[in-house]
Amino acid sequence: MPRYTIPNNIGKVRIAMGIGGKYTVWNGKQGKHEFAITCRNRKQAVKIATLINSRDRPAEIEVHA
């Protein structure tokens, strides 16, 4: 179970289709400031995206792959 540390200045995240048809929670940036979490299905991606975009988001998130 990977554990991701969420930075303070991540911005809004959205759901995108990643490599191999996997859903990805992504902040829309590339390079140094890119933040992406690969999810199992769209339902899990929506849940993670709403959690990160919420006002009181956690400092770390654990994703069950």
Q: Where residue 9 falls among pLDDT bands split at 50, 70, 90?
A: confident
Backbone φ, ψ for residue 8 (5° rounding): -70, -35
Q: pLDDT digits over 14-56, tens only?
A: 999 988 999 999 999 999 999 999 999 999 999 999 999 998 8
Asked whether the beta carbons of 25 and 13 are under 8 A apart, the reply is yes
Query: What is the value of pTM for the model shown?
Result: 0.88
Phi, psi of 31 (to 5 degrees): 90, -135
Number of domains in the chain: 1
Question: Phi and psi for 17 in degrees, rounded to 5?
Answer: -85, 120
Category of 41 on φ-ψ map: left (φ > 0), alpha (ψ -120 to 50) or beta: beta
> Whole domain around residue 39: which residue ranges?
3-62
Is the separation of the CB atoms in 39 and 21 below 8 Å? no
